[in-house]
Amino acid sequence: MPQTSAILAAIKGRAAAQRGKPPRDAVDFIYMSTDEIFDTPFVDVEQIQLATIKARFEGLMEKIGPLRQLAAQQGIHKIGRLEDAAPLLFGPKVHKSYPLSLLEGNHFDKLTRWLGRLTTHDLSRIDVSGCDTIDGWLDRLEAQTPMLVMHSSGTSGKLSIIPRSHTETCHHVEMWFKFMDGYRREYGGDIRALNGTLPIFLPTYRQGRHVQRAMEIAYPAICGSDEHFICAFPGKLSADLLTLGGRLAAAEAKGEQGRLTLNPALLEQRERMLEFQRRVPEFMDAFFGKMLEYRGRRVMFVGTWVSLLQATLEGEKRGIQGLFAADSFSITGGGKKGQVFPDDWYERICRFYGVPQMRASYGMTEMIGLMQECREHKYHPWPHQVVYLLDPESGRLLPREGVQRGRFSYMDLAAETHWGGGVSGDAVTVHWGRKACACGRSGPFIDKVERLSDQQAGDDKITCAGAQAAHDAALEFLARL
């Protein structure tokens, strides 16, 4: 990626400029040490969060069309308390509110106008002539603007397109580094202190605009070379293939395969997808063999609990235990995805990989930075992540006090060129007490994460913090092309 060196240099410069200075903006916390971040009294953090939300609202309202529409519908003209921003959280449909007909008909000019309503960057001069794929369109965006878009996995048949730019990508990459930092000498550490000597195992594509984005940029600072950045699959995770796979699966589930309309260029990708599926066992055998070559070494390995368990079960068949050095770094999380795990799954995964414990994470594509799991098995939001809890039925904002359970929602203040407020599909418990967690970190902490769809027989009807009519009006504004 041509922007890699510039992004790493920008991160280094921002961290040097922040060193020893008190934070003035919530983003400043990102470039402080983990100890400094979580030792800051939460009452001080909240004051900085409020000042930052005020600045974001004032700076973005006139530039981000759906935010302006939503604020007008709700009669919100200024932010005086943290709670005032809760009606302005975007629902999950906002980032995929474009009509599918734009993809089916190669209307990438209109798709660009749609995206332009979600970012402060001027996309009006982008030349998209000749674009016939999503990948090609995103390549044009990145070549002609500061945009570095991320997207979701597209399992619904529609990608959520997150309008990240160079600015947010710097924060995103730094948060990958920060996630591994040990708080008060807790497990973990500064991976940059290893001077580019830590091999990385990533069980997915080498390139992409999904989970790969941060690692693709960060790997020179972690492992130093392509040789030690070891991925399961060659090439790039294609946005077109994700869209095709999601749409085919959704149509099959509804029995509507015969009525599915697809861009001809997208249909041409079908053979590539089938060929990839045929070669998955071959790729995974090679990936597993590569892990064995690094047996006993200190490495970083990344994957969901599902993928780590799958590797563990395969390793057990081969009689392998204690694969890597005990001080290796792991990045994992993501829940069980509806699969049945054995009772001792965690112990078996740790035993296979050779580590005494693993730090899980909580986060989502739309947010910048994974929350750390502490030794007490609680998740700790970073100061740039303002937490809101909504009643799952009514969408009402729950009090920011005591112990509350509701729909996890957030205002991500690391989003500087787009609006960072969002509503998730997760039920969580938040401990708001002013007393610090037993691990020592100040501020609220989260546990008991569960998908709301699992509680509601797969039917999670999201009621946004803002009135539904106001939120629908903002979606209609986005869809008017």
Whether the CB-CB separation of 423 and 92 falls below 8 Å is answered with yes
CA distance 204 to 387: 30
CB-CB neighbours of 386 under 10 Å: 24
DSSP letter for each residue of 143-164: HHSSB--EE---TTSS--EE--
Q: Is residue 259 part of a domain?
A: no
pLDDT at 167 over 60: yes
pLDDT band at 103 (very low <50, low <70, confident <90, very high): confident
Share the mean pLDDT of the chain: 89
More confident residue, 475 or 267: 267
Please compute the mean of the pLDDT values over residues 412-427 and round it to a whole number.
96
Residue from 193, 461, 425, 133 nearest 329 by CA = 193
pLDDT at 241 over 70: yes
CA distance 183 to 354: 22
Residue from 402, 421, 419, 395 nearest 410 by CA = 421
pLDDT on residue 441: 95
More confident residue, 61 or 457: 61
pLDDT at 337 over 90: no
pLDDT on residue 240: 85
Can you give the C-alpha Rg of the chain in angstroms? 22
pLDDT on residue 53: 98
Q: Is residue 111 part of a domain?
A: yes
Q: Is residue 265 part of a domain?
A: no
Q: 364-413: per-residue pLDDT in tens?
A: 989 999 999 999 999 999 999 999 999 999 999 999 999 999 999 999 99
pLDDT at 444 over 70: yes
Please compute the mean of the pLDDT values over residues 303-322 and round it to a whole number.
90
pLDDT on residue 10: 95
pLDDT at 253 over 80: no
pLDDT at 467 over 90: no
Burial zone of 335 (CB within 10 Å; 0-12 exposed, 13-18 middle, 19+ buried): middle
Please compute the mean of the pLDDT values over residues 414-421 and round it to a whole number.
98
Q: Is residue 306 part of a domain?
A: no
pLDDT on residue 156: 73
pLDDT at 342 over 90: yes
Q: Is residue 295 part of a domain?
A: no
Which residues is 426 bridged to in the sheet?
451
pLDDT on residue 468: 56
pLDDT at 447 over 70: yes
- Roughly what angle, to the nearest 10 degrees, separates helices 212-222 and 166-179? 60
CA distance 327 to 351: 13
Whether the CB-CB separation of 426 and 407 falls below 8 Å is answered with yes
pLDDT on residue 247: 77
Stretch (H or E) spanning 480: none
Please compute the mean of the pLDDT values over residues 91-107 and round it to a whole number.
89
DSSP letter for each residue of 182-202: PGGG-S---GGGG-S---EEE
Q: Is residue 213 part of a domain?
A: no
Q: 23-61: per-residue pLDDT in tens?
A: 999 999 999 999 999 999 999 999 999 999 999 999 999
Q: E strands, 45-160, where?
A: 150-151
Q: 134-144: per-residue pLDDT in tens?
A: 999 999 999 99
Whether the CB-CB separation of 232 and 211 falls below 8 Å is answered with no
Query: Structural domain tally of the chain?
Result: 1
Say how far residue 36 (Cα) sits from the centre of its chain. Answer: 24
Phi-psi region of 224 (alpha: psi -120 to 50; beta: other; left: phi over 0): left
pLDDT on residue 265: 74
pLDDT on residue 475: 55
Residue 387: helix, strand or coil by DSSP?
A: strand
More confident residue, 175 or 318: 175
Q: E strands, 249-380, where?
A: 300-302, 329-333, 360-362, 371-373, 379-380
pLDDT on residue 474: 53
More confident residue, 1 or 451: 451
Q: Is residue 360 part of a domain?
A: no
Contacts of 412 (CB under 8 A, 6+ apart): 366, 367, 368, 384, 385, 386, 420, 421, 422
Burial zone of 472 (CB within 10 Å; 0-12 exposed, 13-18 middle, 19+ buried): middle
Can you give the residue range of the structural domain that contains 61?
1-183+379-481
Q: What share of the chain is helix, strand, coil (3-state, %, to 5)?
A: 45, 15, 40
pLDDT at 338 over 80: no
